[in-house]
């Protein structure tokens, strides 16, 4: 039996935040333990709309009660730093970033699969026969002891462990002497993730995310440690972009890349020995969704055959984070 985690940081906003957890509860609730993480203030509202087989964990805005779920896997200072970053992200209303960091913390401490609430079960996967591949339950059983992310097409540059704002946004930063050279890595996404509990790669991802955020100025003193990065004609700190809700394109790109760059760090350092070509071994391949399985003929969706999970990319910032 595996944990299947969902996270929604905000009030109930219709089926987009509970339809997929409910569908998977009907499909896998007897085989796996489903957990839905949300704000404590929204827990009762979600109890009204979520399947009773789903455990709902309400988190207050101090995030401190997460300590009871982390089983001593993180040093106290690392845990406190992570909760402070969560607090600051929430203060800046970077709610998708709160969800991203929570997913790393939850998977490292509890293990299991994280699925974004915007994913869905393939209709054909529910009939357990899509292109001869496994359904969700069998796919989970075969995961083993290594982490998994979602594999997309194309490659991008990534300088491992380089944490300047420019490196977070673009994968490289040639402004300083001795900066690590970027390597080519396959494009990935994080709408589905897997980790055994306590895996070293997810610890590196978590600490990389927290360190990047700290250097941006998301820390107890709210003081950036990064030097200014040149973005266009301006020199800015990462926290400046996070505060600028008018400049949504760079703000959203920064939020999206915080999680992606941190995940690359964990996979490169702990799984592939800094070999970018090997990262595909730790990712679920994706396929374009068959026309017969689309909810509308014009949607742009990807399918993970080994899980029977579909992700529809809408015209949102998540499509363009890299």
Each residue of 64-90: pLDDT tens digit?
A: 667 666 667 788 888 889 999 999 999
Confidence at residue 135, expressed as pLDDT on a 0 to 100 scale: 60
Question: Whose CA is closest to 184, among 302, 272, 259?
Answer: 272
Average pLDDT over residues 148-172: 86
The contacts of residue 240 (CB under 8 Å, 6+ apart) are: none
The band of 250, judged by pLDDT with boundaries at 50, 70 and 90, is confident
For residue 284, the Cα-to-chain-centroid distance in whole angstroms is 14
Q: Quote the percentage of the chain above a pLDDT of 70.
A: 80
Assess whether pLDDT exceeds 50 at residue 106: yes
**Domain carrying residue 148:** 3-320
Confidence at residue 30, expressed as pLDDT on a 0 to 100 scale: 67
With contact defined as beta carbons under 8 Å apart, do 266 and 202 qualify? yes
Per the prediction, the chain carries an average pLDDT of: 83
Average pLDDT over residues 108-133: 73
Confidence at residue 131, expressed as pLDDT on a 0 to 100 scale: 37
pTM above 0.95, yes or no: no
Confidence at residue 321, expressed as pLDDT on a 0 to 100 scale: 40
The band of 229, judged by pLDDT with boundaries at 50, 70 and 90, is low
CATH of the domain at 236: 3.90.550
Confidence at residue 68, expressed as pLDDT on a 0 to 100 scale: 63
Each residue of 305-318: pLDDT tens digit?
A: 888 888 988 654 34
Each residue of 272-295: pLDDT tens digit?
A: 999 999 999 999 999 887 765 666
**C-alpha span between 91 and 20 (Å, rounded):** 28
Each residue of 53-68: pLDDT tens digit?
A: 999 999 987 776 676 6
Assess whether pLDDT exceeds 80 at residue 47: yes
Confidence at residue 146, expressed as pLDDT on a 0 to 100 scale: 92
Each residue of 190-216: pLDDT tens digit?
A: 999 999 999 999 999 999 999 999 988
- What domain count does the chain have? 1
List, in sequence order, every beta strand (DSSP E) within the chain: 3-8, 33-39, 54-59, 112-115, 119-121, 148-158, 183-195, 229-231, 234-236, 283-284, 287-288, 300-304, 309-313
Confidence at residue 209, expressed as pLDDT on a 0 to 100 scale: 96
């Amino acid at each position: 039996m595996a944990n299947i985690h969902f996270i929604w940081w905000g009030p109930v906003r219709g089926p987009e935040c509970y339809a997929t957890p409910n569908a998977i509860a009907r499909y896998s609730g007897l085989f796996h333990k489903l957990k839905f993480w949300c704000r404590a203030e929204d827990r009762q509202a979600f109890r009204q709309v979520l399947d009773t087989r789903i455990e709902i964990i309400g988190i207050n805005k101090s995030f401190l009660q997460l300590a009871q779920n982390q089983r001593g896997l993180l040093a106290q200072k690392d845990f406190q730093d992570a909760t402070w970053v969560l607090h600051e992200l929430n203060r800046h209303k970077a709610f998708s970033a709160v969800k991203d960091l929570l997913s790393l913390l939850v998977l490292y401490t509890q293990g299991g699969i994280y699925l974004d609430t915007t994913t869905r079960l393939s209709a054909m996967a529910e009939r357990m026969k899509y292109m001869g591949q496994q359904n969700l339950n069998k796919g989970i059983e075969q995961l083993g002891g290594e982490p998994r992310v979602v594999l997309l097409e194309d490659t991008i540059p990534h300088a491992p462990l380089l944490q300047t704002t420019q490196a977070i946004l673009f994968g490289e930063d040639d402004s300083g002497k001795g900066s690590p050279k970027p390597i080519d890595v396959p494009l990935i996404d994080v709408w589905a993730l897997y980790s055994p509990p306590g895996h070293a790669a997810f610890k590196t991802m978590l600490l990389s995310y927290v360190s990047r955020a700290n250097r941006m100025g998301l820390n107890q003193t709210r003081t950036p440690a990064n030097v200014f990065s040149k973005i266009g004609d301006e020199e800015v700190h990462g926290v400046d972009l996070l505060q600028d809700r008018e400049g949504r394109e760079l703000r959203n790109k920064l939020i999206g890349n915080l999680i992606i760059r941190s995940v690359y760090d964990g996979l490169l350092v702990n799984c592939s020995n800094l070999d970018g070509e090997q990262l595909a071994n730790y990712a679920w391949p994706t396929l374009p969704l068959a026309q017969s399985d689309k909810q509308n003929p014009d949607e742009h969706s990807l399918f993970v055959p080994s899980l029977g999970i579909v992700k529809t990319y809408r015209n949102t910032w998540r499509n363009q984070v890299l």
